[in-house]
Homo-oligomer: A and B are copies of this chain.
Amino acid sequence: MLPIGVLARRTGTKVQTIRYYEQIGLMPEPERTEGGQRRYANAQLDRLAFIRHARQLGFSLEAIRELLDLSDSPERSCAEVDAVARRQLSEVEARLARLEALRAELHRMIAECHADRVADCRILEVLRDHEECLSDHAAPAP
Contacts and interface: CB of A to CB of B under 8 A. Distances in A.
B128 A106 contact: no
Given A67-B127, A118-B74, A92 B102 contact: yes
Given A137-B57, A140-B58, A141-B141, A99 B88 contact: no
Interface string A65-95: 0010011011111101110011011001101
A113 to B, nearest CB: 6
Interface of A: 46, 49-50, 53-58, 67, 70-71, 73-78, 80-82, 85-86, 88-89, 92-93, 95-96, 99-100, 102-103, 105-107, 109-110, 113, 115-121, 123-124, 127-128, 130, 133, 137-142
